[in-house]
Amino acid sequence: MKKQSYTILVITALLVIVFTSAQAQSDRLIAANVPFNFVIKDRALPAGEYLFALVQIGGSDAVKIQSADGHITAFVPTRSAREKVSRTEPTLVFNRYADQYFLSQVYGLEESTTLHLAKPRAEEQLAKRATERSNVSIAAHKK
């Protein structure tokens, strides 16, 4: 009888942990329709609907980017620098050089915090040569 009670207690505790973890993960998920091709890390992604989630990889924060159909998945480390902002809606910010877009910031995965994504080598090289750079913001929504 004690063994059965112990087993039920352990299963209940595990279910509480799993439910709490799943709830925390759902709070860290946003979606956006990106209307142009863009680059993350050293990978070009096509325009389309994407999901963005904050994840831990090896103890460090990263943003998981996945196409809505699940065919594309990428992970981008975030820089440790975070800034407090007063935005109220989830937002993606892209650096634009001519017709190339690079995802640089994600707001809305953590409350009142903008996550700065690691800059790809291609962007660093382009930034050295570019005469003009602009920022493009895309509205996202909680998922």
For 78-105, the DSSP string reads EEEEEEE----S-EEEEEEETTEEEEEE
CA–CA separation, 49 and 27 (whole Å): 19
Residue pLDDT, tens place only, 99-125: 999 999 999 888 778 889 988 998 999
With contact defined as beta carbons under 8 Å apart, do 139 and 91 qualify? yes
75, part of any domain: yes
Specify the number of domains making up the chain: 1
pLDDT surpassing 80 at residue 85: no
pLDDT, position 42 = 85
SS3 128: helix
pLDDT, position 108 = 87
62, part of any domain: yes
| Nearest to 65, CA basis, from 41, 81, 36 | 41
Handedness of CA 48, 53, 56, 61 (dihedral sign): positive
CA–CA separation, 99 and 16 (whole Å): 48
**39 bridge partner residues:** 44, 102
115, part of any domain: yes
Read off the tokens for 143.
């998922």
pLDDT, position 32 = 97
With contact defined as beta carbons under 8 Å apart, do 64 and 98 qualify? no
DSSP code at position 63: E
Domain limits at 44? 30-142
User: Measured in Å, how far apart are the chain's first and last C-alpha atoms?
Assistant: 44
pLDDT surpassing 90 at residue 62: yes
CA–CA separation, 114 and 69 (whole Å): 26
12, part of any domain: no
- The pTM of this model reads 0.77
40, part of any domain: yes
111, part of any domain: yes
- 85 Cα distance to chain centroid: 17
